[in-house]
Structures are given as C-alpha cells and as structure tokens.
Amino acid sequence: NAGVTQTPKFQVLKTGQSMTLQCAQDMNHNSMYWYRQDPGMGLRLIYYSASEGTTDKGEVPNGYNVSRLNKREFSLRLESAAPSQTSVYFCASEPALGSHEQYFGPGTRLTVT
C-alpha cells in the first residue's frame, strides 16, 4: 500500500517549456488535490477533483491545467512554465470531499529558470 505517489521528485525547466506532474493513489479515495508550497505562504490549492470525472479551480489555478485520468490518477500540467511557478508541488487525496483528513504525497520540487 504505497499511499500517494508523485513523479518526478525534482525537475528543472526553462521558461516556456511544458511538463506534466503525475500523481496516483491506491487508497480508493474519491477526492484528489494539487497544492503548491512557497516560503511564507503555506500550501495553496491549485485545482481539485471532488470525484472521478470532475475538476474545479482552487485558489491559484492560473497557468495550470489538470486531468483526472481515472479514480487513481490526477495529473497537473504546466503548458508554458514561468519562473513564478518555481515551487514545491504536493498532491493529496481524501476519501471524499469534506471528510477532512487529506493524505499527501512526498512532493515535486520544480525550478523554472
């Protein structure tokens, strides 16, 4: 039982490049989330998926897109990376929206130069 896994662990991009961050969970959870963590800002919600087939914007969605590929997988795409997107990205899952306890992956550290 691996919980929430994220790939890659580290990534360096040049401005304008694109990439997809992958997230998978094996806990049969319905809801999944993408956060970014920046110094002094805590964790901010980028996008979430309350259940398979639905996605919604969070607090800071600009510059990102998401896909809920199936119940297990939720990917985050940066179409044209910018230095402001340098951050640590965390994926999380929850049994259902509002069940209160989220389980986090280990994070992806992204640097955009």
Report the C-alpha gap between 113 and 110 in whole angstroms. 10
Least gap, CB of 101 to another protein (angstroms): 5
102 is a site residue for another protein (CB under 8 A): yes
Does residue 103 touch another protein according to CB under 8 A? yes
Per-residue DSSP letter, 73: B
24 binds another protein (CB under 8 A): no
Inter-residue contact 104 to 92 (CB < 8 Å): yes
Show contacts with another protein in window 71-100 (CB under 8 A): 90, 92, 97-100
Amino acid at 3: G
Least separation in angstroms between residue 39's CB and another protein is 9
DSSP 8-state code for residue 45: E
Ranges within 27-66 binding another protein (CB under 8 A): 31, 35, 40-45, 48, 50, 58
Radius of gyration of the chain (CA): 13
